[in-house]
Amino acid sequence: MATSKKNKVKFGLQNVYWAKINEWGEDPDGNKTVPAYGPSKHLPGAVSLSIDANGEAENFFADNGVYYVINNNAGYTGDLEIALITTEFATEILGEILDNNGVLVEKNDTELAQFALMFEFLGDKHHIRHVMYCCSASRPATESATTEESTEVKTEKLSLKATPLPTGLVKSKTTESTTEAVYNNWFKMPYNPDTVVKSSAKTS
């Protein structure tokens, strides 16, 4: 995957996957901050994704100037539009119940699950793959219309909220220098960043 070619533009949306956070594991200090994801699952029929950043940098003034810049990254909010929400997503993430007769049932005390969202934008040189690590989705509106002279397909829209993990991790995306192994396995499970500083010092 690593290439010297850089995108000039990005367009299109495809390969939307989700992985449910089944539980929270403990870090070395005993704090439950590490998400344990279930298997990655495809969400077909992606139409559009629009997300806006939450939180803005704030300036702290002292000595008649900007003394310190506070980074307030609260994640993202936006909408994911798809052709039709799958039964699997509705039950595992939106908390709906599939009864013994194969009917989806929605209750007022349903608990929404958190999940990682992975997706891909097309580009003129290479495709950019993204992951948002801790997302929640609200129930979509129910909408349709009678068929007239031409058929208009009605899509479903999920309101998304992506918040930082307790570790501070919000989002990752591939670049032209991403290794082939990481790029090819991107949708199998949420990417775990490797940010350990590598020492070049030789030991005798």
Q: Which residue has the higher pLDDT, 70 or 186?
A: 186
Of 71-75, 90-94, 109-113, 146-150, the least confident: 146-150
Does the pLDDT value for residue 83 go beyond 70?
yes
C-alpha span between 92 and 86 (Å, rounded): 10
198 inside domain: no
Contacts of 24 (CB under 8 A, 6+ apart): 32, 33, 34, 35, 36
Quickly state the pLDDT bin for 204 (edges 50, 70, 90).
very low
Quickly state the pLDDT bin for 3 (edges 50, 70, 90).
low
Does the pLDDT value for residue 203 go beyond 60?
no
Does the pLDDT value for residue 65 go beyond 70?
no
Q: Which residue has the higher pLDDT, 9 or 67?
A: 67
Q: Which residue has the higher pLDDT, 160 or 66?
A: 160
Q: Which residue has the higher pLDDT, 86 or 29?
A: 86
Range of the domain at 46: 10-184
1 inside domain: no
146 inside domain: yes
Segment 80-86 mean pLDDT? 91
195 inside domain: no
Q: Which residue has the higher pLDDT, 50 or 2?
A: 50
201 inside domain: no
Other beta carbons within 10 Å of 128:
17
pLDDT above 70 as % of the chain: 74
Domain count for the chain, please give it: 1
137 inside domain: yes
Does the pLDDT value for residue 201 go beyond 70?
no
C-alpha distances out from residue 179 to 94, 173, 187, Å = 34, 12, 14
- Reported as a single tens digit per residue, the pLDDT across 163-190 is 999 888 999 999 989 999 999 999 999 9
202 inside domain: no
- Reported as a single tens digit per residue, the pLDDT across 131-156 is 999 999 988 866 555 555 555 667 89
C-alpha span between 124 and 127 (Å, rounded): 8
Does the pLDDT value for residue 68 go beyond 70?
no
Strand 46-53, strand 171-173: pairing: unpaired
194 inside domain: no
For 67, left (φ over 0), alpha (ψ -120 to 50), or beta? alpha
